Structures are given as structure tokens and as C-alpha cells.
Structure 1
Amino acid sequence: MKLVRYGRIGKEKPGLIDEEGKLRDLSGVIGDIGGEQLSDKAMRKLAKIAPETLPIVRGNPRFGVPVAKVGKFIGIGLNYKDHAAEAGLPVPKEPIVFMKAITCLSGADDPIMLPQGSKKTDWEVELGIVIGTRARNVSEAEAEKYIAGYCVVNDVTEREFQLERGGQWDKGKGCDTFGPVGPWLVTRDEVWDVNQLDLYLELNGKRMQTGSTENMIFKVPQLVAYLSRFMTLEPGDIIATGTPPGVGMARKPKRFLKKGDFLRLGIAGLGEQQQDVIGFQQF
């Protein structure tokens, strides 16, 4: 299934995308998509519903983050061999873990806002893992059953804040709008081989990133098992699993986002995002 949350910010409703690509309303069946709605039992119940019995949603509503009330937004750094090479850094012996503030979460096509004083805002297309069942000290062999599904993430990063402001990655990772997720959550049963997914990102129509999850250093089961040793993973938690080569910081010359830029990115089978880059706005 492809599960979505659609509508205005803060007013999203649950829905699904049928086999013809039509948006169907799920609000008569479940109140939202998150927490207990992400368990295997809940997913099996949803899978029994005939999509054609659900109301079609007309128009082109905004897609929000496909998971409600995300508790943790976890990032993994330098998790692609070719990205580590372009950065001139050694392959990590253990996953590099950082946190993205949940206040940075935004819908797949919501604009990216450059933070005040930004000089080096960068892009990173990534595979996102959505946890479906509480995971604590799980094994790699069992890790998959704790996953509800997968999604596209743009791990937007301000490099000066990340690397030149005291060594705390979180400062460059959690700015408002720096976490576009979606457009939908694809349940794990529809992803045949998560280790063979193509990723891409374009800036103003020019290809910047091309990669495959087969080049991930630490694979999906490894990451879930590893993280579950250090923190309890709760239903709805999102893990961004690292990015392939082609980020702006590594280009020659370096290229960072500026007002008026347009990003298009996606992962095979998981959908596509599109974002306009806008200047800082005081809410």
C-alpha cells in the first residue's frame, strides 16, 4: 500500500493511493496514520479494504508528512561508499548517528526555507525507514518485522552550521523545512529488495545525485538493529539512511542552494519530491 496524509498543514487526513494512482480517503476507516496504525496487525486490516470502496479525493491536495506525530527523526551519516569517497573521508566502522529536529519535518513538495544567515545549504536524497513496532535490542535477522515501510527523505543540511559551528551536526540538520518526507509511505511488503533501489536528485533540471541503495555501507536491518541497542525505536520514528554522491559540498566548484532554486528527487518505487527554495521568513 501507498499511504498518505493530505491537506493543509496541521489539518491532514489519512489516505491511500490506489493502483491507478488515484487518491482515496481513509478518514472513514482510521483517524490518522501513525503509532498503532503502523503495526503489522493494523496494516493487514487496511490491506483487506477494497480501494474502490473508498471515496476519491478530487483536485490536487498537498501531501504532508505521511506519518503523524513522529517521535524521533534519526539520521545516518556517510553511509554510502561512494559518498564517503567524494568527501575524502574513511568508511565508518560503525554507523554515524545524528538527530534531526522533528520541527524540521515538512511535506514532500513544501518549500525549503533557507535559514537566516545561511551560506551553505545543501541537499541529500535518502531512503527513509518508518518504524512500525517498538524495537529494543533487536537482532539483524528480526529487524525487518519492526519496519512499517519506506519513504523518500531529503536530508537538507546547512554545511556551515553542521561543520564550522562547534562540531554539532544537529545544528545544520534540524532547521525549519529541512526534513521533507514522502510523498507517501510504501509498506514493506511492496518493496521487494530495499538494497536495490535507485535514487536521484536534480537541481534546476540538472542531475546532481545518482545512486543505489546497494552501495549503502550499513544495510537497513543493520541500522535498525544497531540503533535499537542505544535507543528504543517507537512506531512512527523515521530513520534517514544516508545519501549517495553528488552533494553540493563535494562538487567542484561547490554549489549550495539559493533562493529561486528548484529541487526534484526520488527513489524508484517510493515516489518523487519537488521543492522550491525560498528565503528566510519569520513565522
Structure 2
Amino acid sequence: MTIDDFIQFWDKSNFYSGTKIHNQDYDLLKDKLVENCHNFNDYVENYIDKPEDTKFHPDLWPSPYCGDLRNGEIFILSLNPGFDCDYYYESVAEVNQSLENNLFQNLTNEKYPFFVLNPRFSWIGGAKYWLKKLNPIIKNIQEKDTNLSYSDILSLLSKKIVALELVPYHSKKFYYSKYPELPSVKKMLDLLNDVIIPGTKEGKYTLIILRKGKNLQEKNLIPKQANDNFIIYKGMNCLSASLGEDSNGGSAILKRLLNGYGEMQ
């Protein structure tokens, strides 16, 4: 498995007819998919009153990754993309295009390849989530390098950080015990085991697993041993999934981002 193999797996021709579910995943998920919710109007009419639903949304863009896979250095693995009025966000042409460009990695000359850090998109759910999570790191960099503007820092972070999702489909709540059987999950695990985890041993990458890391280890789906650049959150740390500067993940990110002079590398 190479990074380009992984991107190719998500080629636009690989969606199951009429959905944005990968055709290799569809049979396993067909009974786990939201029905009668294809756009924002459908959401308002048929779905807004189902806050505990665990089904996946087949008409939303999958999000196996966000950021520049080929050039990123810091990979943060979560469980799956949540759901926060995404039908409305995706109805905005500029957001929809950025989601498409991200999935197919059409990111040439992008100032914000991790597009949720683009200030223009600060109002969408994914941006609110990541800006809050990365805010301690942003503040730390601002204090150490006063020559950088806020937008400069967001752009630099956007070129370094890639968010990965173990399961790529949106849901309000996650409950799907058979997730390791999904071909898309197997491809993500191949990417981790063939490319990213070996890269952490070489010092090329930092990998932070926020959710399900212990479970993946117990199932022998990832190595039992981590290292200084390969961090697995466990226990209560998984609930907060903090990236504050005092957390293992936050300190590892800052270590990679900042050189000995306290400036962005």
C-alpha cells in the first residue's frame, strides 16, 4: 500500500450507484444507511428530530481524510466524522467543491489543504471542531513567533496536519461493531501499517490515534508498541481527546512544528 494507492481507492468512479458510499462498503452498510434524507430540505422534514441515530449518511461526502496526504507530516486519527447540519454546508458550492477536491486530493497550490482551517469556512461544523481542538497549539505558536499572523499559522498548520477517520461516513452517533470488516477501514489500516507507522519510526511522521487505538491493538490490527512519534490515547484521554500543549498529542505536535528557536519549521 502506498499513499497514491489509498487515494486511488477513493476514485470518484468507486461510489455505489446513486450514493457516496464506496461500492466495496455498500453491501455491509446497506442496512445501516439513513433513508429519505438526501439534502437540507429532507433533513429538516425527515431527520432533524433523530438526535440519537447511529445510521450513516449515504448522500454526504465521505471523509476518510482531510488535508494533504502526500505532503502532510502530522496524522490525527479519529473514529468517524460526526454530523452537524452537513447537508446545509454541502449545499454551499464553495464548501462542496473543497470537499470534492479534498477527497480526490486535487490540492495543487492550495493555501489551506486542510480546508477546515481556511478562515472562509470557520462557520462549518468541522472547522468549529478543529479550531477548538487546535486552539492551544495555535496560541502557543502565536506566543513563540510573533511574526506570524493568525491566518499564517492556520495556513502552516493546514499544510502539516491531516485528519484521518477510521470509518469515513457521517453519523450523529457511532455504533457499528463490525467496522473492521469494511474494505475502506481495511484500506485505512493498510495505510497506517504500511506507510504512516513505519514513517513514525523513521521520524518522518507523527501519528496520534484519538479513538479506538486500544481496541485496534487488541485485535492485532495495529502494532502493540508505540514510539515517541506514535501516540495512542487510552481510557479517559479518549473521551476528551485533548490536543492541549500538556497532552501527549499536543506536545508531540508542537515538537514537530517548532524548532529549537521556538519558530515554525
With normalisation by structure 2, the TM-score equals 0.30
Q: Which structure shows the higher helix fraction?
A: 2
With normalisation by structure 1, the TM-score equals 0.29
